[in-house]
Structure 1
Amino acid sequence: MYIKLFLISVLVLKGHCEKSFKLQQVLILSRHNVRTPLSKNLADFTPKTWPIWKEKSGYLTAKGALLEGYMGEYFALWLKKHDLLENDCPSDDNFFVYANTAQRTIASAKAFVTKGFPGCNVTIHHTSDSHDPIFNPVIHNTTAIFKLEAIEQMRVLLKSLHLNSSYEDLEQILNYKQSEYCLTKQKCDFVTDVNKIFVDVGFKPNVEGPLKISKSVIDSFIMENYEGFPSKEVAWGLLKNNDQWNCVLDLSKGYHSVIFNTTLIARDLARPLLHYMRDILLNKQYKITLLMGHDANIYTVLKSLDFKPYSLKNQHEMTPAGGKLVFQKWLEERSGIFFLKVDYVYQCTNQMREGKKLSLDCPPEFMSMQLEGCKTDEKGFCLWDDFVGILNSLVED
C-alpha cells in the first residue's frame, strides 16, 4: 500500500503522461434522453394552456432519440480514440447494453447503439418484468426503525430548504390561484400548504404537496425547453434568463434531494443496482457496458457512493436528460496500478435545445467527479482498489 501511495505521489508530481495510461474498462450509467412530461394532470395547476406533445406521456420524443443518437456517435468515437473499440461493430463479449423496461429507456438505448454502431447487431438486454428490480427505486428495508429514521431524515432535509421566493415565482408563472386545483381543493398557497412525506416498502419515497406539484410542472418546463418549443411557449415565455430558471429549479432540486439524497434511503434504493454494477466491473469480461436508467438511479448512486458536491456548467439540472456517469478503469502501465476515473458526460442546455451534433471537435461537457472515500489527484484519478472497497462495503450481504 505504501509503495502504491509513493508511486501515485510521483505520478502526480511529474504529471500524467497520457501514453502511460491505458483505458481498460468503461461502465456508462445513463439517464434516458428527452421525454414527454410524466404528470397527466398538469392542467389542474394553471388556467393556461400547456404545449401539445406528439408522443404519449413519459415516452421518449423524436428529439430525444436524435440527441441520444448524437451521444452514441460521440461515444463510439471516444471509445475508438482510447483503443477500447477495435472494430466498428463491437462483439457481445465486449459490449453489454442493459436498459430498464420503460419505453423511454429502451428507446434511448436503441437510439444510442443504432447511431453509434450503425449496421451492427447490438443486443439491448432488458427484463420482461414491468418493474425491473435493478432500476426500480423503491424501499426494500422492511423494519419499522428504518421507516422512522428515513422519515425523520427526509423531514429534516425538507425543513432545511429555503424555497419561499421560488414558490412565489412559480405561483405567478402558473397563475396558480386561478387554477382548478386551488379553486376546488382550497389549497392555494405553495408557501403555507403542507408537504406530506411517505416511506413505504415496495414504493418510491415520496413527498405529496406543493413541492411535488412544483417538481411536476417544472419538469414540463425543462422538457419543453430541451424539445425546442418556441420560447414563448416554454413556461409561457416567463423564464427569460438563467436567474429565473435557477430560482424555480431550486424547487425541483429540493424535491429530488428530499426523496433521494439522504444516505439511508439512497443506499437502500440503489443497492440492487450497485450490486449489479459491482458484478459487471469485477466479474464480467465486458470492456464496455451501457446501463440505461433514470434520474433516480443516478441520484441514488451518487449519494450512495458519497460523491462530493458538484455543479454542471451550462446546465440547469443536476441529472440532465441523456446525462451519463462514466466509470473508467485505467491502467498505469509503468507501475501496473489500476485507477478509477469518473466523469459526468452530458449535453449542455443549448446543445440540447438547438439539437447540436456532437463530435470529438464539438464534444459534450465532461465534469470530473470525486468520491469522498477515494483520494483523487488533480487529473481525476483515484486508486481502483479503494473504489472496489467502497463498492464491496455497500453491497456485501
Structure 2
Amino acid sequence: MRQILNARPVATALLACAALIWTGASEAAPLRVERVVVVMRHGVRAPIVGEAPEDTLTGALWPTWPVPPEHLTPHGAKALEILGDVDRRWLARSGVLPARGCPAPGQLRVWTNTAERTIASGKAFAEGLAPGCDTPIGHLGPNQTDPLFEPLGAAVAPFDPAAAIASIQAYTGGVDQLAARLKPQLDELDRVLDCRAPKGCSPVRPSKLQPSTDGRGIDLTGPVRDASGTAQVLLLQYVEGLSPDRSNWRAVEPAALKRVGALHAALFDVFTRPPYMNARQAGPLGRRVLAALDAPEAGGVDVFMGHDTNVTALAAALGVPLDAPDYARGDVPPGGALVFVALVDKSGKRSVRVYYQTQPLETIRRLDRRVTRSLVAVSLDAFRRRVAEARE
C-alpha cells in the first residue's frame, strides 16, 4: 500500500486502511499506536570530498555549493523541517505527540550520528516535529565512532574479510558482473555528463574487492565505485536547485536521474545487502529499534538520524524492498526513512507495521508538502535473527 499525502485524494479503501493504522484516538479504531521509531537518512548535503572525482571529465563545470563539503544545506534543512511538520500532524492524530504545544520531557527522543550533516538534520526534523520546543539532539562526541551508525568502524562484532568478500561475490554474482549489468547506466552517465573524452567520463578500472587497510571493512574499486558518487552528486544538485540551469547540466532531468541512480543503489548490493555484511551493518541499530518496539510503556517517538547505509541495511534485514516512484529501486533519497509503528488492539495484542517514507524529487526541490509512505510486508522474527548474527 502506497499513500501519498497532501496530494489528490486516493481510493476510499486506501484511506480507510490508513485511518485504521494512524487514528488511534478514535474509539472505533481497533488499533492504537503505542510508539513510533523512525530511522532516517540525513537531508540534502554538499558533495563528499572525492564523491565526484577530479578526474571525472564533463562538458560543464560542477556547480558551486553554499556550504562546505558534506554539510547539510539550508535548503536541505528546510525540506526536513517541512517533512517534520507533515509527520507531526499524523503523529498527533495517533496520540504519540501532542497536537499543540511541546512534547513532554522524553516524549520525543532524537539521536544522530556525529557528522555535521546528521546533527543538523536531526535539529531540522525535530524543529518540524516540535516547532519552537528546542528538542535535545543526542549524539556522541566528534572524535567518537557511534556503533549504531558505523558498526564496522566501531568494530562491534568480529569481521572476517574473506567471508565478507565471499558473501558479496555470491550475492552480486561477482562485482565484475555487477558492473557489466550496469553498463547501460554507465553509458547514460557519460551522455548526461556530456563527456569530452573518447573513453568516457572516468578512467576505466577493473572491478576489485579487497579488505580495507584497517581490516574492518571492504574496499571496492572499479566502474561502479567510480560512477556511484557522481550519480549521487547529480541527484543532490538537482534537489538543491543547482541544476539544470540556462547554461549547465541541461540533460540531467528526473527520468535520467532515476536511471543513473541505479549506480548509487548498486553500492548497497556490496556494502549492506549481502548476508554477511548485512548482519554486521544492521546489528547494533536493529537491536536498538527492537528494544524501542519492545518497550511500549515508554511511548512517544524515537528518531535515529543516520545515513543511506543504515536505512538500506535495516531494509535488507527486514527483507523489504526500497522502492519510491522518483528514485532508483534500492536507493534512499535525502530524508528517506523506515518508520516502525508499534500497535496494540483492544485485547492487548501487539503488532508492528513498517513504512518506507520519502519526499518526491520535486517536493525536495520546490519545498512543498507531499510525502509518500509505502506499507511494506515484514518478518520481525527474521529481522531479530539477522540482527542477532552481528554478535557472533
How high is the TM-score relative to the length of structure 1? 0.80
Task: Provide the residue aligned with 1:20 in structure 2.
Answer: 30
Q: 2:33–2:342: 8 Å Cα contact kept in structure 1?
A: yes
| 1:342–1:88 distance in 2 versus 1, CA, 3 Å | same
Cα distance in 1 for residues equivalent to 2:43 and 2:375: 21
Pick aligned residue for 1:289 from 291, 299, 302: 302
1:218 aligns with 2:211: no
Task: Provide the residue aligned with 1:75 in structure 2.
Answer: 87
Cα distance in 1 for residues equivalent to 2:17 and 2:129: 33
Pick aligned residue for 1:369 from 358, 365, 376: 376
Cα distance in 1 for residues equivalent to 2:376 and 2:247: 31
Q: 1:92–1:123: 8 Å Cα contact kept in structure 2?
A: no
1:164 aligns with 2:183: yes
**Residue type matched to 1:351 in 2?**
T
Structure 2 residue matching 1:178: 3-state secondary structure: coil
Superposition deviation, residue 143 in structure 1: 3.5
Q: 1:324–1:346: 8 Å Cα contact kept in structure 2?
A: yes
Q: 2:261–2:327: 8 Å Cα contact kept in structure 1?
A: no
Task: Provide the residue aligned with 1:278 in structure 2.
Answer: 290
Q: 2:278–2:313: 8 Å Cα contact kept in structure 1?
A: yes
Superposition deviation, residue 167 in structure 1: 1.5
Cα distance in 2 for residues equivalent to 1:247 and 1:181: 18
Q: Any unmatched runs of 5+ in structure 2?
A: 1-15, 21-28
Pick aligned residue for 1:138 from 152, 155, 158: 152
1:104 aligns with 2:117: yes
Structure 2 residue matching 1:266: 3-state secondary structure: helix
Task: Provide the residue aligned with 2:54 in structure 1.
Answer: 43
Q: 1:32–1:104: 8 Å Cα contact kept in structure 2?
A: yes
**Residue type matched to 1:138 in 2?**
L
Structure 2 residue matching 1:45: 3-state secondary structure: coil
Q: 2:84–2:126: 8 Å Cα contact kept in structure 1?
A: yes
Superposition deviation, residue 154 in structure 1: 5.6
| 1:67–1:228 distance in 2 versus 1, CA, 3 Å | same
Superposition deviation, residue 388 in structure 1: 5.6
Q: 2:167–2:277: 8 Å Cα contact kept in structure 1?
A: yes
Structure 1 residue matching 2:169: 3-state secondary structure: helix
Task: Provide the residue aligned with 2:43 in structure 1.
Answer: 33
Q: How does 1:307-318 map to 2 (within 5 A)?
A: 307=320, 309-316=321-328, 318=331
Cα distance in 1 for residues equivalent to 2:274 and 2:358: 24
Superposition deviation, residue 289 in structure 1: 0.2
Cα distance in 2 for residues equivalent to 1:206 and 1:37: 20
Q: Any unmatched runs of 5+ in structure 1?
A: 1-13, 375-386
Cα distance in 1 for residues equivalent to 2:247 and 2:283: 37
Superposition deviation, residue 151 in structure 1: 4.8
The RMSD of aligned alpha carbons is: 2.9
**Residue type matched to 1:166 in 2?**
Q
Pick aligned residue for 2:272 from 257, 260, 276: 260
**Residue type matched to 1:395 in 2?**
A
Q: 2:322–2:332: 8 Å Cα contact kept in structure 1?
A: no
Superposition deviation, residue 259 in structure 1: 2.2
Structure 2 residue matching 1:327: 3-state secondary structure: strand
| 1:89–1:256 distance in 2 versus 1, CA, 3 Å | same
Cα distance in 2 for residues equivalent to 1:234 and 1:330: 52
| Residues paired across the two proteins, number | 355
Pick aligned residue for 1:248 from 260, 268, 292: 260
Pick aligned residue for 2:317 from 301, 304, 319: 304
Superposition deviation, residue 232 in structure 1: 3.3
Superposition deviation, residue 257 in structure 1: 1.9
Superposition deviation, residue 138 in structure 1: 2.1
